Structures are given as structure tokens and as C-alpha cells.
Structure 1
Amino acid sequence: MANAESAIADIPSFRYRVSGMDCAKDAAQIERAAQSAGIAPDAVKVSTATHIMTLTAPEARLPEIEKAVETTGYGFDRIESDEDIQQGAAHQDPGYRRALWIVVILNVGVA
């Protein structure tokens, strides 16, 4: 059992930014597509909140997985470092923050 756990820990994780995804149904579709390439269910996670897909797989398998995910029609780009995740966060975008404040102000005015 310990050997299986250490083998899983040795497999690298890769992250992709997913575009065009709106809901949990879309995330599940992307996860199923990755699993169709022979990836275990617990080796792929797609977050609808961050629009990030995390794959735990050998790098040699990535082209096969990427091809399977492309069939879903959603866009995805590999994230090379953790800095990219923070830079692309929606809550840090000034336009997003401005739109959020407008929604808050309009809702307060209605109430």
C-alpha cells in the first residue's frame, strides 16, 4: 500500500486554464473527456470557481489527454507556474471589481 501511495506522489501535476466553461456540468464534461484518455477519476480535477484543470499524469501522456479534452470544445492553455494562476484571477481584474461594485450599488438602491 505504501508503494502505491509513493508512486502516486511521484507523478507530477499540470495545470491548465479553461475558457468557455460556465457550470459544474461543463467541468464534469471536461473531466470525463480526460478520463476517456485513460486517466483515473482522481487524477483530474476541474474547478468551476477558478477555471483551472489540474492533471496528475506523466508528462508523456499529456498530448493524448489534451487531444481528448479538445473534443469538448472548451479552450485550455497550460499554466507554466503558480504566478500565472494569481495573475489571471478574476477578482484581481480592475474591470471585474468595477462591475462587481456596480452590481452591489444597484442592489442596495433597489432594496
Structure 2
Amino acid sequence: LKARGQIDITKLETCIPSKEKFEDEIEKMRKKIPERILGDVKRVLNAALKLEIETSRFYEDACEKTQGPIKEIFNKLLEIEKRHEDVVQIELDHASNNGYWFNFMEIDMEHG
């Protein structure tokens, strides 16, 4: 950024769609996964979620320590990383089939 002057922040995107677009597809896939494989899937997703959270913390820290255009870039990267966290959390919730949806108990949402 310093060498070139600026980066077009509008071009920083992720290929991961919004959560609304993929929740039905995840449910269809979950129904096709045998239970014996599901345990491995949950372990992988737990590891992936930890990595996504760690990466988000890195970008949050970078945002706090920078200013100007570079801060805007780190904010955009943080926004993208949070979407990655959402995707992994949804997949983990579905694989676990534990009554949670985006870290909220579904029953709480119905009576809240």
C-alpha cells in the first residue's frame, strides 16, 4: 500500500456466499453423511473454527494498530473472515445436530 499509494477496497471480497444462500444445501449434505464419518467431520470443523477465530483476532488487532487506508483494508479482511467463521459455525452446528443455530439455542429463539 505504501509503495503503490492505495488498494481498491471494493475488490476485496470472498467467494463464500452469505449464510442465507447456503443453509439449505448444508442441511441436504448433512442428511447424506453417515454417522461414523460425522465424528471426523466435527473434529475437522472444530479445528477450522479455531483457526478462523484466530485469524479474526489477528485482523482485529491489526485494525486497532493501523490508521487510514490500511485500516480500511484490515476492516474489510476482518469482515470477510467473520463470514468464514459463520460458515464453519453453521456447518459445525448442523454436523453436531445439537439444537444450536449460530451459537444460540433454537428453543431460546422460539420463546425469546
| TM-score after normalising by structure 2 | 0.29
In terms of fraction of residues, the more strand-rich structure is: 1
| TM-score after normalising by structure 1 | 0.30
In terms of fraction of residues, the more helix-rich structure is: 2
